[in-house]
Structure 1
C-alpha cells in the first residue's frame, strides 16, 4: 500500500471513529426504504363456467291444465245460472269456475233477500271459515252498521270471490265474467241500496240495478281516520 493510500485509509478510519464516538453509527436518508418485500397475493382460481341445464318441456297434460285455467271464463253456462238466492248459495259452493276449480275454503254470503242494505267486498277476510268477515274487518263493519242504524242480521253480506285469492287481478276477473256473476248475485239479493267496499267490489258491481256507494276497503277505513270521515260524509249524501 502506498503512503497516500495508507494516509487516506487512516483519515477514513479516524472520521468513522469520530462519528461513532458522537453516537452516529447508522446511515440516514430522507426517503424511506422498503426493507420488507410486498407479500405475494395468491390469485383466486378462476370460477368454472356456469352449467346450463336444458329445461324439460312441460308435459302435454300440464300444458293442457295451464291452458284450461289461463283466461278461462267464469260462471259456467248462463242457461244454468241459479234463479233464486237459495239456489245461488248452492251454486256458490259448487261451481268450479268461480275459483279455478278449487272448492275448499269457500265462504257463503248471508242475510235476507230484499234487505235495506247489501254490503259487497272483494273477497273474504283472511281466516274466514264459517262466516264472512269474521275478523277485524267484520268488527269495523259492525260499528259502521250500528252508526247507520242497522243490525248485521238485517243486511245482506257478500263477497265477489268465494275464498281468499292473493293479489287478485280484478280487471282480468271482470273480463272473464266475474262481473256478470256479481251483478246476477246482486239482482237475486235485490237490496234497496248497496255499499261496495274496495276496488274489486266497485269494479264488479258496475251496471248493477241497485243504487251503489263505492268506497275504500274496510281494511283501509280501519287504518285511516280521514277515510272514515270521507266514507261517513259520502254515506250521508248517498242515503239522504
Structure 2
C-alpha cells in the first residue's frame, strides 16, 4: 500500500518499476511487514534469556536477585529495539518506493537488530559473574560494537534518502533527514564511547550509557528540539 492508500504499482499509485532489466523499485508494504516481523522476533528472543535460576531449597529469592543483570539487559535491549521500531515506522511513512540500496541498508539494520540478543546475553552473564572483571569489559565492548553498527545502518538509510529524494513522498523532508543523520551519528559515537569507557575504566559506565541512549532516541523521535525551533 502507498501513502494515499492505493496499491503499489497500480495506475493510481507511484511507479514501482522500469521497463528494462535490473532491480525494480517497489512499494514499502513488504519491507515494513518483514521488518516488523524481525523486530517482534528479536524482542521475543530477549525474553528467553530470563530463566528460573539454579537455587537450593528456600533460596529462590536471593537467586532471583543475583541475576539482576539479566533483567537490566532485557530492559535496555527491549527499549532499544522498541525505539528502533518506532523510528523505523516514522521513517517509512515518508518513503514512497524502495530501491536496491535502501533494501540493503534496511536489511543491515535488521541484521544488527536480530543480533542484539547475543551481546545482551553475554553482558548479562559476564556482569552477573563479576561486574568489574575482564569478561565484563569484553562483553560491554561487544554490545557497543553491535549497537554502534545498528546506528551506522540508520545513518546509511538517511544518507541514501538524502541522495535519492525521489524515493520519498511529496513534501519537504530535508529537516527530518538532517535530524536523522545527526541522531544516528550520535548513537555511533555514544555507543563507541560507552564501549571504550567500559573497557578502559569500568563496565558500569558503559551500562549507564546503554540505558541512556534509548531514552535519547525516544525523546528525539520527532526531531532535535533546538534544530526544530530554528527550522520552524
Q: Report the structure, 1 or 2, having the larger helix content.
A: 2
User: TM above 0.5, one fold?
Assistant: no
Q: Report the structure, 1 or 2, having the larger strand content.
A: 1
Question: What is the TM-score of this pair, normalised by structure 2?
Answer: 0.24
Question: What is the TM-score of this pair, normalised by structure 1?
Answer: 0.24
Higher relative contact order (CA 8 A, sep 6+): 2
